[in-house]
Amino acid sequence: MAKSQPQVCSVTRPARYRSSGSFSLASRLKRSNYWFACAFVRPRFMENIAPAISSPSGMGANQPANRAVLDWVEEVRSMTQPENVFWCDGSEAENDYLLGEACRQGVLISLNQEKNPGCYLHRSNPNDVARVEEFTLICAPTKEEAGPTNNWSEPAAMYRKLWGMLQGAMRGRTMFVVPYIMGPPDSPLAKVGFEITDSIYVVLSMRIMTRMGAQASTRLGSKPDAEFNRGVHSLLDVNPERRLICHFPQDNAIISVGSGYGGNVLLSKKCLALRIASYLARQQGWLAEHMLILGVESPAGKKHYVAAAFPSACGKTNFAMLIPPPHFAGWKITTVGDDIAWMQVGADGRLYAVNPENGYFGVVPGTSYRSNPNAMRSIERDTLFTNVALTSDGDVWWEGKDGSPPSAATDWRGNPWTPASQGKAAHPNSRFAVPMRNNPVLDPEVEKGAGVPISAIIFGGRRSNTMPLVFQATGWNHGVYVGSAMASETTAAATGAVGQVRRDPMAMLPFCGYNIGEYFRHWLETGPRLANPPLIFHVNWFRKNAQGKFLWPGFGDNMRVLKWIIDRCEGRAGAGASPIGSVPRPEDLDLEGLEGFSPEMIRALLAIEPEEWAQELAGQEEFFKTLAPYVPPELLEQHEQLARRLAR
């Protein structure tokens, strides 16, 4: 690991973490007035950390029947020494109660309930605003099993360290036990998890993002050997020096400490549904991928599903709920998932996908009725916002929202903000968490356990040059190679530099829970099992001109690219052959109704520039070298063939 070793946690916490005195005025106000009270009475900072709640009788008492769960919770309880344990049942009454408590404690601000019914704002600690890849570890028995792309620790040593950090870590707090199901309950891939957490924000978010509550305990049943994921999360003191996100794939266990944010702590999401699930998928012969799933229906009623892997903050949520431009009247896009796909080979030799999640944890900045109306409609209610700006009338604001900025607001840190301020009002990685049922274009098959059949797989990255708007791989192995070598400019979704091109195979670099070479091998082996494999494509919405402006309008207009992809699946659309694969000629794309768009622009978008591809080849080669000796020879062979085609 790059940084100094985290120290063992001290059990005494600064007094301010335990006191609730500063919230006393707010607590005297009725819930409907919280947004008002919060805006004026609350301290500027919001602590993630809040003292124990004492729930009314009957609340928080949903102990499951499973002895293994009870024993494990007791083990964690005696280690972390919380003031009390709250067993979640996922009910409406429980949610109402916890929302009230979270507001009273200052963990949430209730927004203007007339404008934003059921909506709340949370501000994370400013040191804790994104995933921390450098402190995310795969604790497999050997370093080789974690592979060259993952941070690794020997499991026993890491357990010892984490247990040390967790010793007494929940003193004075409530320990919540959150049962949840990932996947449609009747999917053979569905998984039960339990997350233990001392963050009420995590509980409220998990209720949105997963199928949370008693149904999970019921599904698990009372058999002592029934399989479930064990997740332990503690905020500790939200100190970046003591932040670790650790996965134990062989134990189906996750321990996350020191963070209160997003993918670090909603253990169902990146930790279980990608890192642990990808490991299980390799063993069990299915795929767990960082992919959206969308349905596209033609005016004639013919429907296809596609899955697309773009790295974090590279357009999955937007693509998954796009509204086609007026010229495509009668075409309908529906969302199955916006971030994660679990896929298996069906009896008919097609690939079938389910969305394991129950909600969307989406990037807020840039979201508007112009760019993504379906997301805007989704977040009109029942939404938990994190790190956006707050207006004086209890509304939310962010860069790129419709309308002009408010003349004065409170920024994501809780400081006064005006349009003249230096910093941004909303953090670039500010997020909404919203139940998927709010999506006006939710696909009717979203609960179908068997999943939806995938016609096309799309890989894509954020590349200002080199990569054309779209191209098609020549076959499965070439497609796997395209995915394995893909790259993207880094974004604010993870800590670290933004805008740097890095290789991110299948958008899984931060999420593959085992050796990436094995993962490539698994993809290669899946191809021959598919009598009817999806076609594989690569897209780039982010190519720029010499002035640094995006060449492609993106968003709804991505329908034009999707239409070409669907037509290719149906054997209709034309394409030109190129060294990198099949690239549409300008006349193969339906660009009618695109305003302010010139023939030079589409030529620039589709161009394959020899100097850029020479660099690209070198970049891929350098990356594959860092993965040696694990890259399957089939992929190296694909690379060589590409080099030969480009040299001709």
Site of interaction with ligand GTP (CB under 6 A): 310, 312-318, 338-339, 362-363, 365-366, 371, 493, 541-542, 550, 554-555, 558
Read off the DSSP letter of residue 457. E
Cβ 61 vs Cβ 139: under 8 Å: no
> From the CB of 555, what's the least distance to ligand GTP, in Å?
5
Nearer to ligand GTP, 124 or 558 (CB): 558
Nearer to ligand GTP, 162 or 363 (CB): 363
From candidates 122, 131, 207, 543, binder to ligand SPV by CB under 6 A: 131
Read off the DSSP letter of residue 442. B
Nearer to Mn ion, 316 or 521 (CB): 316
Strand, coil or helix: 93: helix
Residue 488's H or E segment, with its range, is strand 487-489
Alpha-carbon gap, residue 362 to 312, rounded angstroms: 10
> From the CB of 556, what's the least distance to ligand GTP, in Å?
9
C-alpha pair distances (Å), 596 with each of 372, 549, 553, 562, 593: 21, 14, 10, 21, 9
For residue 9, indicate whether it is catalytic: no
Cβ 132 vs Cβ 264: under 8 Å: yes
260 binds, among ligand SPV, ligand GTP, Mn ion, none (CB under 5 to 8 A by kind): none
Read off the DSSP letter of residue 451. -
310 binds, among ligand GTP, ligand SPV, Mn ion, none (CB under 5 to 8 A by kind): ligand GTP
- Told to check if 357 binds Mn ion by CB under 5 A, we report no
- Told to check if 472 binds ligand SPV by CB under 6 A, we report no
Nearer to ligand GTP, 428 or 632 (CB): 428
Return the structure tokens found at 570: 């149906």
Nearer to ligand GTP, 194 or 397 (CB): 397
Q: In 3D, which of 424, 331, 335, 342 has the Cα closest to residue 375? A: 335
The DSSP bridge pattern shows strands 253-257 and 244-248 to be antiparallel
x/- letters, 299..338, toward Mn ion (CB under 5 A): -------------x--------------------------
From candidates 339, 443, 445, 567, binder to Mn ion by CB under 5 A: 339
What's the N-to-C CA distance of the chain in angstroms?
A: 43
Tell me which residue has its CB nearest to ligand SPV: 263
User: What is the full DSSP assignment across 329-388?
Assistant: TT-EEEEEESS-EEEEE-TTS-EEEE---SEEEEE-TT--TTT-HHHHHHTTSS-EEES-
**Range in contact with ligand SPV (rule: CB under 6 A) among 47-55, 165-173, 263-271, 367-375:** 263-271
550 binds, among ligand SPV, Mn ion, ligand GTP, none (CB under 5 to 8 A by kind): ligand GTP
Strand, coil or helix: 116: coil
> From the CB of 269, what's the least distance to ligand SPV, in Å?
5
Peptide bond into 510 cis (omega under 30): no
From candidates 42, 207, 242, 269, binder to ligand SPV by CB under 6 A: 269
- Told to check if 476 binds ligand SPV by CB under 6 A, we report no
262 binds, among Mn ion, ligand GTP, ligand SPV, none (CB under 5 to 8 A by kind): ligand SPV
Alpha-carbon gap, residue 262 to 268, rounded angstroms: 11
> From the CB of 274, what's the least distance to ligand SPV, in Å?
9
> From the CB of 417, what's the least distance to Mn ion, in Å?
28
**Single-letter amino acid, residue 535:** L
Q: In 3D, which of 8, 28, 82 has the Cα closest to residue 51? A: 82
Alpha-carbon gap, residue 545 to 25, rounded angstroms: 55
Site for ligand SPV in 493-522 (CB under 6 A): 493
Surface-to-core class of residue 107, CB atoms within 10 Å of its CB (0-12 exposed, 13-18 middle, 19+ buried): buried
CB neighbours of residue 266 within 10 Å: 28
> From the CB of 312, what's the least distance to Mn ion, in Å?
5
**Single-letter amino acid, residue 574:** G
Nearer to ligand GTP, 105 or 318 (CB): 318
Residue the block writes with tokens 């112009």: 370
C-alpha pair distances (Å), 196 with each of 106, 174, 220, 362, 457: 21, 10, 16, 24, 35
Site for ligand SPV in 294-323 (CB under 6 A): 312
> From the CB of 514, what's the least distance to Mn ion, in Å?
19
Size of site (CB under 6 A) for ligand SPV: 9
Nearer to ligand GTP, 53 or 493 (CB): 493
Return the structure tokens found at 92: 């409406």
Contacts for 572 with CB less than 8 Å, ≥ 6 apart? none
Size of site (CB under 5 A) for Mn ion: 2
Nearer to ligand GTP, 139 or 486 (CB): 486
Read off the DSSP letter of residue 463. -
Alpha-carbon gap, residue 506 to 308, rounded angstroms: 9
Nearer to ligand SPV, 47 or 339 (CB): 339
308 binds, among ligand SPV, ligand GTP, Mn ion, none (CB under 5 to 8 A by kind): none
Tell me which residue has its CB nearest to ligand GTP: 554
> From the CB of 329, what's the least distance to ligand SPV, in Å?
32
Alpha-carbon gap, residue 291 to 312, rounded angstroms: 10
**Range in contact with ligand SPV (rule: CB under 6 A) among 67-75, 116-124, 262-270, 625-633:** 262-270
Alpha-carbon gap, residue 100 to 2, rounded angstroms: 41
> From the CB of 119, what's the least distance to Mn ion, in Å?
22
From candidates 64, 82, 155, 263, binder to ligand SPV by CB under 6 A: 263
389 binds, among Mn ion, ligand GTP, ligand SPV, none (CB under 5 to 8 A by kind): none
Alpha-carbon gap, residue 220 to 185, rounded angstroms: 11
User: Three-state secondary structure along 229-260?
Assistant: EEEEEECCCCCHHHCEEEEEHHHCEEEEECCC
> From the CB of 122, what's the least distance to ligand GTP, in Å?
17
Q: In 3D, which of 581, 532, 537 has the Cα closest to residue 561? A: 537
- Told to check if 427 binds ligand SPV by CB under 6 A, we report no
Nearer to ligand GTP, 339 or 518 (CB): 339
| Candidates 119, 139, 246, 314; catalytic one | 314
Nearer to ligand SPV, 433 or 635 (CB): 433
Residues lying near ligand SPV in the complex (CB under 6 A) are found at 131, 262-263, 269-270, 312, 339, 361, 493
Site residues (vs Mn ion, CB under 5 A)? 312, 339
Q: Which residues are catalytic?
A: 314
